[in-house]
Amino acid sequence: MAKTNTIFEGVATALITPMTENGVNYEQFGRLIDWQIDEGIDALVIAGTTGEGSTLTDEEHKECITFAVERVNHRIPVIAGTGSNHTEYGKQLTKFASDAGADACLIVTSYYNKATQKGLVKLFSEYASVSDVPIIAYNVPSRTGLNIEPSTYAELAKIDKVAAIKEANSNISKIVDTFAKVGDQMDIYSGNDDQIVPFLSMGGKGVISVLSNVIPKETKEICTKFWAGDIKGAAALQCKYNELVSALFCEVNPIPVKEALTLMGFCDPIIRSPLYRMEEDNLKRLTKAMQDLNII
């Protein structure tokens, strides 16, 4: 049966978390949230990978979710990053986000202490059991050392609350196989900004994006053009922003995107260990890519 609990279509920004030396900068956070909505973004992901969720304290993580829900105030969906390699903690955070008013939860696969494919089905079943809102299964093998296989997605599709996939596996053959197996049962979002148009061409619902932190309106335009039938125009935009995408991932995310937003005046360049400030040559590359597009 086809899923009916679509969370969003288009672009969800995987939002950074602006920091001070002692915590979260909520003034900057609120400004970013409002700007993203004003620019027409379709949803926001809070405290995910780009939001440094893994180095937020438990109190900060919960405060960021609550703050975002209240600041957004139902203008667009809020998706809370609540996955963890500590399943019981992840479940507690998912229950908290669900109760706090988040519209969905983004659950990354277990990392470091990796699950088997059968274990993944059990894992997402556990998360689903504590959530009152839809869940997006997040597959990012480059970070977790674990890939959700297409056949496993077919099992996840049977879990009512698991409504969607954020697919950051760059293996296009696996991606096509996933669409073939569950494309009519689960919403599938690209987790890679360099693959937005390929995902849309397979029937994807959009992208959960790092790029849209910097150019939300322009990132959304890729989807808008595609769905309006201007495939060539969408592809041209994908190519136009390719160097910026590459520069945003020339070091571990979210190092470059925080530097980009610092250059734009949205935040301070504070990032938490084990991540550190961008190397000079890479910062020059990012700056040039932004200047070439008249972003700064």
Query: Is residue 166 among the annotated active site residues?
Result: yes
Expressed as residue numbers, the domain containing 168 is: 10-228
CATH of the domain at 159: 3.20.20.70
Per-residue pLDDT reduced to its tens digit, 118-129 = 999 999 999 999
- What is the per-residue pLDDT across 229-247, written as a single tens digit (0 to 9) for each? 999 999 999 999 999 999 9
Q: Has 111 been annotated as catalytic?
A: no
Of 201, 140, 197, 135, the closest CA to residue 163 belongs to: 135
C-alpha–C-alpha distance, residues 263 and 290, integer Å: 9
**Domain presence at residue 273:** no
Check pLDDT > 70 for residue 1. no
- CA 278 vs. chain centroid, Å, equals 21
Exactly one of 62, 166, 205, 225 is catalytic; name it.
166
Q: 138, 153, 189, 241: which is the annotated catalytic residue? A: 138
Residue 285 forms part of a structural domain: no
Confirm whether 3 is domain-assigned: no
What is the total count of domains within the chain?
1
CA distance 222 to 262: 25
Q: Global pTM?
A: 0.96
